[in-house]
Amino acid sequence: MKRRNFMKTSGCALAGITSCLCGLSCSSGGGNTKSSIQPNIVVILLDDAGWNDVGYHGSEIRTPTIDRMAREGIELDSFYVNPTCSPTRASLMTGRPSSRFNILGPIGYNSEQHLPYGTVTIAEMLRRNGYHTAITGKWHLGMVPEAIPNNFGFDYSYGYTGPWIDQYTHRTRNEIKTWHRNGEFIEESGHATDLMTEEAVSYITQHQNSKEPFFLYVPYSIPHEPLQVDKKWIAPYNDTIQIESRQYFAAMITQMDACIDRIISTLHEVGLAENTLVFFSSDNGGSPPGEQQKGYLDPTPVINFTKSFEKFGDNTPFRGWKGDLYEGGIRVPTILYWPGKLQPGKVIESIHIYDLYPTFAYLAGVELTNDMPVEGINIWNSINGGSLPEDRVLFWNTGRQQAVRKGDWKLVHTGRTPDSGKDELFDLREDPYETTDLSESSPTMFAALRKELAIQFAMDK
């Protein structure tokens, strides 16, 4: 596979980055060479936003802040997550496929499942090496009291444990309380998106004069249902979007975009922008429309549709939805934003969210130890204009589907195990929308990826 990175600007758009990051060497894709800087790191994660739910991808949804970040930062154009929320969060926290922990789908509000105790999360790794760590938003890696973020490397936690909440009461189905500060349930008024943002802004402001770098994780609760938003955010779409459910969905994203602007503006106002790397993405692709979604307006719906919801997210032009291992379920809009350090550009090599763990470790100057068995790779070389290893394999397992991607080729297996079910093989370079199954016409590649799938699946046991 030949390198296929390209930049928006002429010449080598990242030519100045190495000098800007004094002492930061460009290691190979899988390398763990330490850098000499420790930037602040802010991770912003949307909930259920699809590929075509941001303005810079041509969406009808207004996202001026995200669009500006894309123009001024680096688009990760082939960035992968897992097809549902808990698995993506597990991969982010551990640097590994979530199936290694048997986290195959969303953790339910009455479930006792959680990330294994003792896991050295990305937050714990950074905290051990001089960072102050905080989360203001959705955790969704354990509903039991002992599984709060504070027990997984976060010095400070605020938000809710999961899986979803009423945006105003901050409770889940059957009035279950999950809204908390450092594990203590609290009652607050206001839309969850605004409250999470206020907490993030306050945290940044408090750390403006600190010599201690920080890791701030802001996983928003929207545009996941329930569709609840102030009318002022809906008004701009009255004449441009005719489908009511899509109007509310769009309004929630625009509200969230304005909140991201507050975070970015605060970084500039307190003088931290040039020493802060901001990562923006979504936890999975957009949800499909359908009658089954109506229940998610419980417990206190702001709106009631009299028919099935016609449209939520939009993964155009990709195939599939949230829950699928086709591109629409796992390929999401993603940006790296670092004013003064990263010049505008686009990276089209395949990157997975579990690559962030070793990448952030590298930027923080951390040597990974045996209790950090990450499977992701340091992607900073690719961000600097280099290439990632050609033979790397990406893997997913949802319990009903598995998939591997190697180079341009992707195998999707529908079935509980690789031994039974249906296989589909796609050449994503020629067929990015997964329209043509090549499993019969490309037997050599098919056999090679079947072998890779079996190897990866066996590692889950």
Active site residues per annotation = 85, 140
DSSP string, 324-392: -SSHHHHB---EEE-TTTSPSEEE-S-EEGGGHHHHHHHHTTPPP-TT----S---HHHHTT----TT-
CA distance 429 to 14: 25
CA distance 392 to 399: 23
Give the number of C-alpha atoms closer than 13 A to the C-alpha of residue 84, restricted to the C-beta side.
Answer: 22
CA distance 119 to 151: 10
DSSP string, 111-152: ---BSPTT---HHHHHHTTT-EEEEEEE--SB-SGGGSGGGG
Q: What is the widest separation between alpha-carbon atoms in the chain?
A: 61
Q: Tell me phi and psi for residue 290, to 5 degrees.
A: 150, 160
278: CB partners within 8 A, 6+ apart: 42, 44, 69, 73, 263, 264, 267, 335, 336, 337, 338
First to last CA, the chain: 31
Q: What does the angle CA 382 – CA 388 – CA 394 come to, to the nearest 5 degrees? A: 120
E runs forming strands in 175-319: 176-177, 179-181, 184-185, 214-223, 276-282
CB neighbourhood size of 456 (10 A): 22
CB neighbourhood size of 458 (10 A): 9
CA distance 375 to 106: 22
314: CB partners within 8 A, 6+ apart: 50, 51, 52, 53, 59, 286
Give the Å distances, CA to CA, from 457 to 92, 97, 119: 20, 11, 21
CA distance 241 to 316: 16
Closest among 280, 228, 220, 221 to 249, alpha carbons compared? 228
CA distance 153 to 454: 33
95: CB partners within 8 A, 6+ apart: 122, 354, 355, 356, 357, 358, 372, 374, 375, 376
